[in-house]
Structure 1
Amino acid sequence: MPHEKPPLRIASLADQCVQCGLCLPVCPTYALDGNEAESPRGRIAIAAALARGDVEPTAALREHLDHCLGCLNCERVCPAYVQYGELLVETRAMIGPMPGRPRLLLAMIQRPALLRLAGRLGKALGSARWKKRLAERLPAASSWRAALNTLPDAANDDALKSSLADSPSAQPSIALFPGCVASVEDAAAQQAAIVLLRAAGYRISLLPAFCCGAIDLHGGEAQGAERAAQRVRDAWQASGAEQLVSITPGCLGTLRRALPGVTVADPVTLLSARADRLRFGPLARSVALHLPCTQTNVARSEEALLSLLRQVPELEVKPVPRPPHCCGAAGSHMLEFPERAARLRDDTLEQIAGLAPQQLLSSNIGCRLHLAAGMDEGGRHWPHQHPLTLLARQLIS
């Protein structure tokens, strides 16, 4: 239905909902508020009313749409196969970005060069000593307070050595999309992906680092999202690769939207398919595995990841129970609604604490930074990293 005008398309998507309510038990915001308007079913009704012109997008009404995390748990259980994610994106584009959106902060995190500069300045100014005190002086609902709390004190991982040089038997060709925040704060995982994919017999090329457009797409910034999508298409065409991967599951849906017909995958899916080529050394450690919503509901690669981790001898892998269904990071949600995001995060951290891990693994950099900020506040100190980084360090070459 791409030829339909946005309001007609939204109404058409909304009409697929049979109002069964099976989405309610898996919706994190409905669990948080117990309010029908904070559920997928309620938001679908709001979107339909807006599309048909029955109501105006008042601040009170649109807040329910803005609160949605876009976790897509509802799509996973929907018997009518409602395309809720598409409906949400279309509706937000129709009504535009929410008032008070922290545009300056979001613009900064979308630019890797600015992120690196901020990191260097923070290190030079000793931010680890004063950032917490500064954050505490800001209101609890401040986006800048949330950003300061998620600012890492130091790099969490030493960079792995890797090469993009081809091996004679390498095929097929894979392009790796670095993203924005992940290209800076998860550089070790990017290098780990290169190491592991080459060991599995793939030929790797690296795309330029920039934002895929997810932040704008899910924030109702339609023009910014389309500019980013065109940049993705240009970079993909220049790569000449056969498949595209991203170490950040949160980018996959937006990359697939920009590149219809292209295979866009989580690297663990490709690695799992060639797991017989990979050997890992033992690691006597207990790890809690946090599975981001996008990994389970978009990449759908949780089983592939678990299979790979279980190939590491002596490693005890404990998946974090669900519920809670979302840690609250949800792209820019943790900056736009920090108090709500913190409540969801606290529930997740309680589940992690119950596993008594020695280390925390999570493949989405936003989730990891968000959880780490909660760990700091709660006096918990689990080392945390991307699962690919752990796998690459245990790889026997």
Structure 2
Amino acid sequence: MPTMPENKSERIAALADQCVQCGLCLPACPTYALDGNEAESPRGRIAIAAALAQGRAPVTDELREPLDHCLACLNCERVCPAQVHFGELLVETRALLGPAPRRPRALLALAKRPGLLRLMRLAGWRRWYARLARWLPQRSGWRAALALAALPPPPRLRPGPAVTPCTPALARVALFPGCVASVEDAAAQQAAVTLLEAAGHTVMRLPAFCCGALDTHGGDTQAAARATGRVQEAWRAGGASALVTVTPGCIGQLRGALPGVRVEDPYALLVARADHLHFRPLHQRVALHLPCTQLNVARSGEALLTLLGRVPGLEVVALPPRCCGAAGSHLLEFPERAAALRAPLIEAIASLAPQALLSSNIGCRLHLATGLAEQDEAVPTLHPLVLLAQHIVPGHTS
């Protein structure tokens, strides 16, 4: 049995001791709903983590699997009366165990290289991905990745008339592009710049690289530490007073790397200037998916709804607040489970028959788009910032 580092073991045990085993987290846990198995619940995972950390159980595949299945959605934290820091406990336990044997290292290495992803898109390989995917088994992470890559290219932000920033100028903001998002969400990043500048902020872009969230949640502490150092170096060179990202999945990692720095998604800054931003009418019905990280980490769901509510004629229907199953690398490690978790949301979207689907997290949006494509549901998907930027009224916003 592997020897557990004493400081990590003690920290995990202390976090686990906060749990009063009340079970109020069970109805909020998507994997418990999927399996009906106590081990696949927050309460069960806390017990497993404590047993492993204290040496009361050996590290086996059977005990490790429920920890690997966890989506880190943090729904349990939101409802926990004892305020257990489950996210921290999960990260510490995964760091203690190290990367899972089935972790798709090659796929994740590719995902963390935006330059290579951009080159692959320019090479026109997308049209071959769907054909290649059909030759791979259903459980293959490569099949899931190719299905994502085969989706139509993300929409470009249509250039519109210039929007004059309101005065006086507000805080200088740094935009963190990330890795996959820097390629697949380029339109959302340009939209963030357009809207933030219209609200009075000066925006600068940091270099595109992985924030380290994939490594942190995968138990690769050395790679995560290197990413943290890179984030800190880029932040110091930027000279900004706040950091934003269009990907809620990066926010927790960036906050951990930059304690004391204001790290938000753009909605938090934009809603503070909502009265200065005006939008053209859009008579459409859209479905809104709020990613778990937006609800439980960024906590900007209400801010986004407020901004969308300022678009005249726009009908926004929020989908049920449940995890879609993407969860970082989860959709690559456990594609069948990810598809099962996604299924109720696909059904809900189909029943609404919206003219578009909005979601802020690139992994969630690609995962949902793949599910819609498999069901022959022709629903365009886009980042909410793109919709807002496309309909902002040109000219003075103040």
Matching residue's letter, 1:338: P
Provide the identity percentage: 64
> Where in structure 1 are there 5+ consecutive unaligned residues?
none
Which residue number corresponds to residue 289 of structure 2? 290
- In structure 2, give the amino acid aligned to 1:309: L
8 Å Cα contact 2:30-2:323 kept in structure 1 = yes
The 1-side partners of 2:341 and 2:378 are apart by 19
In 1, Cα distance between equivalents of 2:217 and 2:253: 9
Q: Which residue of the partner structure matches residue 82 of structure 1? A: 84
Cα distance in structure 1, aligned partners of 2:260 and 2:243: 11
Aligned to 1:352: 349
Kindly indicate whether the alpha-carbon contact (under 8 Å) linking 1:361 and 1:387 is maintained by their aligned counterparts in 2.
yes
Output the CA distance in 2 between the equivalents of 1:118 and 1:32.
36
Equivalences for 1:31-46 in 2 at 5 Å? 31-46=33-48
Residue 259 of structure 1 corresponds to which residue in structure 2?
258
- Counterparts of 2:219 and 2:165, CA distance in 1: 41
Contact 2:157 2:390 in 1 (8 A): no
Whole-angstrom CA distance in 2 between matches of 1:371 and 1:167? 37
Equivalent residue number for residue 133 of structure 2: 135
Matches within 5 A, 1:162-177: 169-177=168-176
- For each residue in 1:258-280, what CA deviation from the matched residue of structure 2 results, as whole angstroms up to 9, or x when unmatched? 11111101100110010011000
Output aligned runs, 1:303-322, within 5 Å. 303-322=302-321
Shift of 1:134: 1.9
Matched AA of 2:281: P
1:340-362 CA-partner distances (Å, limit 9, x unpaired): 00001111111112222111000
Task: Give 5+ residue unaligned stretches, structure 2.
Answer: 1-5
Give the equivalent residue in structure 1 for 2:339. 342
Q: Using a 3 Å threshold, how does the CA distance of structure 1 residues 168 and 351 change in structure 2: closer, same or farther?
A: closer
SS at match of 2:243: strand
User: What residue number does 1:106 align with?
Assistant: 108
- Structure 1 residue 168 displacement after superposition: 7.0
Q: Could you tell me how far 1:169 is from its partner in structure 2?
A: 3.0
Q: Distance in 1 between matches of 2:88 and 2:266?
A: 24
What SS does the aligned partner of 1:327 have?
Answer: coil
CA distance in 1, matches of 2:191, 2:168: 20
Residues 1:330 and 2:327 are matched in the alignment: yes
Cross-structure match for 2:392: 395
Q: Matches of residues 1-397 of structure 1 in structure 2 within 5 Å?
A: 5-121=7-123, 123=124, 125=125, 127-128=126-127, 130-161=128-159, 169-322=168-321, 325-397=322-394
For 1:196, the aligned partner's letter is: L
Query: For 1:351 and 1:19, how far apart are their aligned partners in 2?
Result: 33
Letter of the 1:170 counterpart: A
- Measure the CA separation in 2 of the matches of 1:110 and 1:59: 27
Q: Name the SS of the counterpart of 2:331 in structure 1.
A: helix
Q: Is this contact kept in 1: 2:74–2:296, CA < 8 A?
A: yes
- Structure 1 residue 43 displacement after superposition: 0.2
Query: How far off its partner does 1:166 sit?
Result: 9.0
User: C-alpha root-mean-square deviation of aligned residues, in Å?
Assistant: 1.7
Whole-angstrom CA distance in 2 between matches of 1:375 and 1:153: 11
TM-score (norm 2): 0.95
SS in 1 for 2:134: helix
Contact 1:144 1:335 in 2 (8 A): yes
**SS of corresponding position for 1:5:** helix
Cα-to-partner distance string for 1:213-256 (whole Å, 9 max, x where unaligned): 00000000000001001100110111111111110000000000
Q: How many residues are treated as equivalent by the alignment?
A: 388
Please give the alpha-carbon distance, in whole angstroms, between the structure 1 residues aligned to 2:296 and 2:189: 22
Offset of residue 110 of structure 1 = 0.6
Q: Is the 8 A contact 1:178 1:210 kept in 2?
A: yes
Q: Is the 8 A contact 1:249 1:294 kept in 2?
A: yes
